[in-house]
Amino acid sequence: MNMEQTFDELKQIVDEYYKNDIKKLQKYFNKFSYANEKDNFPDLISELYIHTIQNIDKLAPIIIKNQYHYYAIKYIFNQRMWSNTKYKQNTQIRENQSDELQDLKIFTPNEYEDEEELLKKEMDIDLKLAKIKIIYDTLPLHEKILFDKYYNRHMSMRKIGKEIGVSQTAIYYMITRIRKKILNCKL
């Protein structure tokens, strides 16, 4: 291929790539991303496409040598991992608002004059999250489903009981058992 290709020719190659290989990029995005980010792929891929078109002259050698796929994968990974990227600025990752996690707010240095106090609070939060993760990973499937319905989806005990055909009291005791497992977890 000629290194002196026009903008239209390069754009056509890029457009063809997006038409044919978008599913491959989504597969890589899904490998890199957290579960609560899975819906953000269209935003990220749009940013990549705009970035490519705006910098097509600089990317011409990569496009011509048929190496754009590797560039796109690296772009996706970096946009997710680096802290000050357009993806991070434009994407709000949904936080879990469950009862158990309400006290896990993010503290800013302005809220504490002493950095040691801030560090202790952050360590407490990390410890609580670690306990929840450890316990969740060890729960049997039926308790994981209950945990998800109650804490992640914010379903009432009555609604959960009605959905699965169990009394509200039974749901209460199962949730209490899960809560105790989390509170009694030793790290």
**Which tens digit of pLDDT belongs to each residue from 141-168?**
888 888 888 888 888 888 988 888 888 8
pLDDT (0 to 100) of residue 94: 40
pLDDT (0 to 100) of residue 46: 85
Q: What is the mean pLDDT of the chain?
A: 79
pLDDT (0 to 100) of residue 1: 42
Q: Nearest Cα to 122, choosing from 134, 112, 137, 133?
A: 112
What is the three-class DSSP state of 163? Answer: helix
**Span between the terminal Cα atoms of the chain, in Å:** 60
Tokens at residue 24, please? 């491959």
User: Span 122-150, mean pLDDT?
Assistant: 84
Q: 37-75: per-residue pLDDT in tens?
A: 777 888 888 888 888 999 998 998 988 888 888 888 888
Angle at 154 between CA 162 and CA 187, to 5 degrees: 115
Q: Are 127 and 84 in contact (CB under 8 A)?
A: no
76 confidence band (pLDDT: 50, 70, 90): confident
Please give the Cα distance from 144 to 97 (Å, whole number): 17
User: Span 70-97, mean pLDDT?
Assistant: 70
pLDDT (0 to 100) of residue 113: 56
